[in-house]
Amino acid sequence: MKNVILTLATTALVSTAAIADDSKKFDGFFTGVETGYVFSGSSDVFIYGGNIGYRNQSETDIVFGVEGTFSGTDVNGIDFLASTTLTIGQAFGSKKNQLFYLGAGYALTKTDFGYNGAFKSDLGYEYALDNGFSIRLKATTYEFDEFQTTAGFAYRF
């Protein structure tokens, strides 16, 4: 009888924890795709790529994370743009399915002339759907000189 009660209590505890984790829409590993536009002093550039990352959503709905991106462009001579960003944000809304976040990190561009590195900062908004997918909008600045906007989708798994 003790084993039955212990098993039922453990099952109830585990299922309650699983339900609590589902309410955290921005917790765990994610991957996604994005496309956008870079506004630069010399030329404007169409950009496309993907991202992967991990976030932790606290009990107070503060979200900490790390994200990596890898992007291509429509400009000859630019091979790729890659970045790593640390993020912090706040989930809000009645379902806690909206997120505003800030990010800071480092970006590396490979061109025909070599590699260029730059500090980057992000301001983003994400809206989580019930199926693990999110819609993302992000504004990024590189060395506060170039400005990039992107939109995309992410999937949390």
Predicted confidence (pLDDT) per residue in 78-97, tens digit: 889 999 999 999 999 999 99
11: in domain: no
46: in domain: yes
52: in domain: yes
pLDDT at 103: 98
pLDDT at 18: 44
149: in domain: yes
For the stretch 50-79, what's the b/e string if a residue is b when 16 or more beta carbons lie within 10 angstroms of its beta carbon?
ebebebebeeebebebebebebebeeeebe
Cα–Cα distance for residue pair 136/126, rounded to 1 Å = 4
- Please check whether residue 127 is in contact with residue 118, taking contact to mean a CB–CB distance below 8 angstroms: no
pLDDT at 136: 98
pLDDT at 156: 95
CATH number at residue 31: 2.40.160.20
Q: Give the structural domain span for 77.
A: 26-156
The segments of the chain whose pLDDT lies below 70 read 1-21, 42
Residues 6+ positions from 77 with CB-CB distance below 8 Å: 111, 112, 113
pLDDT at 21: 54
